[in-house]
Chains A and B, each alone.
Chain A
Amino acid sequence: MSKPKIALYWCASCGGCEESVVDLAEDILQVAEAVDIVFWPVALDFKYEDIEKMADGEITATLINGAIRLDNQEHAAKLLRKKSRLIIAHGSCAHLGGVVGLANFYERRDILNRAYKEVPTVKNPQGILPEIKTKESGRELNLSGFHKTVKTLDQVIEVDYYLPGCPPTPELIKNAILAILNDELPPKGSVLAEKKALCNTCSRRESKPDKVRIKEFKRLYEIQWDATRCFLDQGIICFGPATRGGCEERCIKANMPCRGCFGPTDNVRDQGAKFLSALASIIDSKDEKELEKIADSIPDPAGLFYRYSLASSILRGKIGTV
């Protein structure tokens, strides 16, 4: 019997998710032993045509990381969907839009202007912007179309499972692959991590008092931090309560508060709004003016609350841009 075929692909992402696969270390050999990797542009030399030639559903599972912003990304995602039995959204960007999803706070025109005209390192006196088709020395050049917005993978194709995280831990990737190989997958649509939020396993949980109240939001550099005490109890915004667990608290262990890369738990539609609600509820004031002041101490609430999940949120981005 031939080995199951696995493909890996990247879209709008930083490459960190690819690293996370490499981080499987020796385990990757085990994986390589058990499966045939048929497509992995970042590491192995396969061609796009190789996929096109495959039968529908021939690939057992494809892990796609990165959000979707370009025509070619959408195209490849659709092709891989056709050829794969399972599609796994790999990492925060494919799952929620990720950091790249924050671009949905800006209009496409502004993004292009910024990138091609305004950035100090760019010299573009004629103000040329990329075009889908351009003629250069008599030859036609084709560029992939740049969409109006960033989309999550499941806004473009049907996704079977989600591997959350920026990036997912090697452990989660390994478990996912093993689950595929052993046919032990949970119901379709599941996020392959903990069901509960991060606080459940947080090493600082015991330090959290029953009644947490915040009078002032602080940043780490502003306080004499205590590396064993709950961040929220120190006035530091930590997304732990609103973020799915399973990350092994890598940030917390490095004394950095959670920023939500594993996304919301199953019952939450909008991670940012839900965390906003929780956080606002524990503000220790009833006075309108004081509340305004405390709210103002969060300089960029939308950027904070939707660090990883803007593209998958209820509004998906700024009004008018999406």
Chain B
Amino acid sequence: MSSFEPKIIGFLCNWCSYEGADSCGRARKEYPSNFVVIRVMCSGRIDPQFILEAFKDGADGVMILGCHPGDCHYKEGNFNALRRYTLLKKMLKQFGIEEDRVKLDWVSASEGDKFVRVVSEMVEKVRVMGPLMLIQKKQLKNHREHRGNL
């Protein structure tokens, strides 16, 4: 079997973690290309629906990166992320999604090194776990056209 390259979606808060990723770029620190970023203003914006959607669409892992506790640009948004993550992680296990496929961590604007480390670790971990065996994507796509707004 050829080596498996996982696909990881990272939700990064604008103020700390996204800036942390930028600072890692400015310092030309390499990290796996499997990690793609979605910027949100605050980790507290991250709706568990987004995480499920990412898995459904083919992500093998999802990361949530926010400001360190106490450093949130919006005071306590990151604690909301933590609360949701804690409960979601437990529930995802019942969906057959291993705990290690969702990871919340704190990366500050200056922690380019930590960013590289947590992202690389995540990619490595998921690589070892292998792909998330999900349904055929197509099958999932089409049924919502007439339902509600989404």
Task: Classify A-B as touching or not with yes or no (CB < 8 A).
Answer: yes
| Residues of A near any B CB (own CB < 8 A) | 105, 152, 154-155, 158-160, 162, 188-189, 191, 264-270, 272-274, 276-277, 279-281, 283, 285-286, 288, 291-292, 295-296, 298, 300-303, 305, 313-322
B28 in contact (CB, < 8 A): no
Q: Is the CB of A281 within 8 A of B94?
A: no
Taking the complex as formed, is B84 at the interface, i.e. its CB lies under 8 A from any CB of chain A?
A: yes
Does B94 contact A273, Cβ atoms closer than 8 Å? no
Chain B residue at smallest Cβ distance from A278: B84
A266-B149, A269-B150, A274-B49 in contact; A288/B86 too (CB < 8 A)?
yes
A sample of 22 cross-chain residue pairs with beta-carbon separation below 8 angstroms, ordered by A number, consists of: A159-B147, A264-B148, A268-B49, A268-B148, A269-B49, A270-B49, A273-B51, A273-B88, A276-B88, A277-B49, A280-B83, A280-B86, A280-B87, A280-B88, A286-B82, A295-B90, A303-B94, A315-B55, A315-B56, A316-B135, A319-B95, A319-B133
Interface residue ranges, B against A (CB under 8 Å): 47-49, 51-53, 55-56, 69, 76, 79-80, 82-84, 86-88, 90-91, 94-97, 132-135, 140, 143-150
Decide if B133 touches A189 in the complex (CB within 8 Å): no
* C-alpha gap A300/B82 in the complex (Å): 20
By the criterion CB–CB under 8 Å, are A315 and B95 in contact?
yes
Complexed CA–CA distance, A288 and B48 (Å) = 18
Asked whether, in the complex, the Cβ of A298 is within 8 Å of the Cβ of B135, the reply is no
In the complex, what residues of B have CB within 8 A of residue A159's CB?
146-147
Question: Which residues in B have their C-beta under 8 angstroms from that of A272?
Answer: 91
A267 and B140 form a contact (CB under 8 A): no
Q: A277-B48, A319-B133 are in contact. Are A283 and B83 (CB under 8 A)?
A: yes
Nearest residue (CB) in B for A300 is B94
CA distance A285 to B87 in the complex (A): 13
**Cβ of A174 to closest chain B Cβ, rounded Å:** 23
Do residues B56 and A274 form an inter-chain contact, with CB atoms below 8 A? no
Task: Name the residue of chain B whose CB is nearest to the CB of A160.
Answer: B146
Name A267's contact: one of B48, B134, B148 (CB within 8 Å).
B148
Point out the residues of chain B lying under 8 angstroms from A292, CB to CB: 86
Q: Which residues of A contact B147 (CB under 8 A)?
A: 154, 159, 162, 189, 191
CB distance from A159 to the nearest CB of B (A): 7
Interface centre among A281, A288, A315 (most CB of B within 10 A): A315
User: Could you tell me if B47 and A277 are in contact, using CB atoms closer than 8 angstroms?
Assistant: yes
List B contacts of A286 (CB < 8 A): 69, 76, 79, 82
B112: shortest Cβ distance to chain A, in Å? 25
Given contacts A155-B143, A320-B96, A321-B96, 4 further A-B contacts (CB under 8 A): A267-B149, A277-B48, A315-B95, A316-B135
Chain B interface, DSSP helix/strand/loop, else mixed: helix
Tell me the nearest residue of chain B to A189, going by C-beta.
B146
Say whether B84 contacts A276, CB under 8 Å: yes
Please tell me if the beta carbons of A270 and B94 are within 8 angstroms of each other in the complex.
Answer: no
Complex Cα–Cα for A291 and B96 (A): 22
Q: Are A276 and B87 in contact (CB under 8 A)?
A: yes
Contacts of A291 in B (CB 8 A): 82-83, 86-87
Residues of B contacting A281 in the complex (Cβ-Cβ under 8 angstroms):
80, 83-84
Smallest CB separation, B147 vs chain A (Å)? 5
Decide if B143 touches A301 in the complex (CB within 8 Å): no
* CB neighbours of B48 from chain A (8 A): 270, 273-274, 276-277
- B87 A295 Cβ-Cβ under 8 A: yes
Partner of B97, one of A105, A280, A300, A319: A319
With contacts A273-B47, A295-B87, A320-B96 taken as known, whether A191 is within 8 angstroms of B146 at the C-beta atoms is no
Separation of A273 and B51 alpha carbons in the complex (Å):
9
Residues of A contacting B140 in the complex (Cβ-Cβ under 8 angstroms) = 316
Q: Which of A189, A191, A302 contacts B94 (CB 8 A)?
A: A302
What is the bound-complex CA distance between A105 and B84, given in angstroms?
22
Q: Which of A277, A286, A291, A303 has the most CB of B within 10 A?
A: A277
Name the distance in Å between A81's Cβ and chain B's nearest Cβ: 13
A64 to chain B, nearest CB (A): 15
